[in-house]
Structure 1
Amino acid sequence: MPRLHRGFVYLLTGLFGLVAEAREYVYTDAHLHYVDFFQESEGMDKLLEQMDAHNIRHVMISGIPVAKKWHENEPRRPRYYAGDDAGAYWYSGTDHILAHALQQLDEQQRRRFHPFLSGFNPNDKNSDEHIRRLLEMYPGFWQGIGEVFTRHDDLTALTQSETPRANSEAMQRIYLLAAEHDLPVMIHSNITSKRERNPLYLPELEEALRDHPTVRFIWAHAGTSKEIHRHQEKLDFLFDELKRMLGLYPNLFIDLSWTMLEPYLLDEKGEPDPRWVELVNKHPDRFMIGSDVVGDFRSLGKNMQEFDVFLDALAEDVAHRVAGDNFLQVLGEAFRPER
């Protein structure tokens, strides 16, 4: 069933004598990649144009920690990391590409961006020292770490490395560094594999949450992915596990970017799921939304506004927190914008 545009719904309610006031949201995009998997971008001018056009005041911005290889034997360059069987490799240059782009902006523009450092191998126990060097090289610049790619289905299989885990020794060292510098960590750690109908990989993330209680973890997509949904339309255990974890770990924050919108936040009719509405209302500071665009910003406004129907179902103060404030409050105190 096609989803009705929000403005049309308000028009209908008005015609039938009901009172409905459209909410206007000021968005913070809590999950945006400046470059794609080939380390290319439309550029800051296009990004700012889309932000201004769609009421997006702040953006979490990062590179992409891997680069997709155009293999010698492939006659055509792939358009995405899953476009062919060529591998991907950890790419530290992504942070410098991002830093250079942000440094070209004036101070007022730059304050709207919250750069996270991502260009490192989460299996390499040298990575914490690499991150430390980047923090020193760009003093006062980096506001978080991530998106860290650990369990990431087909991308993990294509990346030329051992399978990265949220509880690897290398990541444990990075969490200690994050705590030292008061940096949140955004981590992509799938809750399960493409075919297992149980939270197969969840203990890896839970170990990190338990052992590093002073680190604020942002769980990208709450452990879901497009590839998981291609094989399993919906993870029936996700809601109960997430509810349990939010009660256990006060350092856990949830990024609801696009793979969470359907089939979880909205049902098959495009209506907000009451269980998820209740959960977000119960934990009003723990959820945030993001576009997860990668270097191409044309769909940025659409991706953010698609959350409106769910936001409208929340208590109004909670909705504004989820749309804009919650990500900003997860940042270290020195980086939180003045309200």
Structure 2
Amino acid sequence: MKGMLAEIANMVKDFGSAPTFAEMPRKTLADKGIAGPTAAHTIEEVHTPLNLAYLTFTTGSSAFQNIVGVTFAEMPRKIQASFNVLQRAGLKAGDKVLVTYPPLVNVFSGDAMKKYGLEWRFLVRSSRDAFLAALYEFQPQAVVGESSFIRAALEDARHMGVADELPRDIVLLTAGTPLDLELLPTAKSVLNARVHDLYGCQEFGWLCMDGVPVREDIELVKLPGGAGQEMFELVVGGLPMGDSFPVSASGHVCNSEGKIITYRRERTYPEYEVIVKATTLTSTVTLGRVVRSILRIKGRIVKVSPDVVTGAEHTVLELKPDYVSAGEQPGIIIEGPQKTQFFDDMVRAQLDYQQKAKADPTWTKRS
């Protein structure tokens, strides 16, 4: 028996049904397209579940930064939304893009930028002087970054008398924070640049560009009550963003056709609860797993109605203001299939996950 165990010990070092640590597939920052410096992060290796396309983090604008999981099922629509952004901006395959903050690539996804055929580069350091140096050396056709940072850097260039050495007629895709309106005249005078205002998040990808949706499953829900200007909650694929916007007939400052004034967003109060009223699933057990998965990787609370209809032709969701904050209010119905696409993608992701084994025989669970 000792001889057999010795033979097994030698065999498992050379081959086996499970990988060694050295054989495990790896997703580096370079593989994700975000291998650039930031002053706000450390670099940490993690074991990423095979059912997730990649991990990223929320920006922390409204609370502590939280892990976001992006599933394979949602990638096609996420990539298409990014293509819509890049096409509307007039970019083409082979164009060079300077990204000032590497995690912004995760909102596109590196795969989207690769498939579109872009070449992108990051700053040597996350500073304004490094940004100006990169503009001069890289000569990009477009820049992706936060608007106030870009404005301040361009003002530096003008004060230093080096604005004439920077590229002209480029595209500025501003994101991450509300658009700094002072950037528009500065960008025009220093770079003769076209400015676009992107709204989105790590959980869902890009949602609006210059006040125009870039996905098919965007819905605007008027907030109940309140005084002053009417505000509308932005709902993507049946899930509320927690952000509200005014809607204006006069249009967005970057595009008169864009009616959603994304640079004047406010946090929604009271927040909406999402209740599943009907599902294409035949199992409420699976539906329960879907809503828990959405909570864990997207941070959105979804509840299942006690009288939910299973096996329905399409998903039906009800949005209700938080009872504690708003009292009893009428619900708003969101019906699929078009307007619940994101939720349905998460259903598909859960089904894919359940149909695949854990893939690691050392990990067992008893139900």
Whose strand fraction is larger, Structure 1's or Structure 2's?
A: 2
Whose helix fraction is larger, Structure 1's or Structure 2's?
A: 1
TM-score, normalised with respect to structure 1: 0.29
TM-score, normalised with respect to structure 2: 0.28
| Structure label with greater radius of gyration | 2
Higher RCO (Cα < 8 Å, 6 or more apart): 1
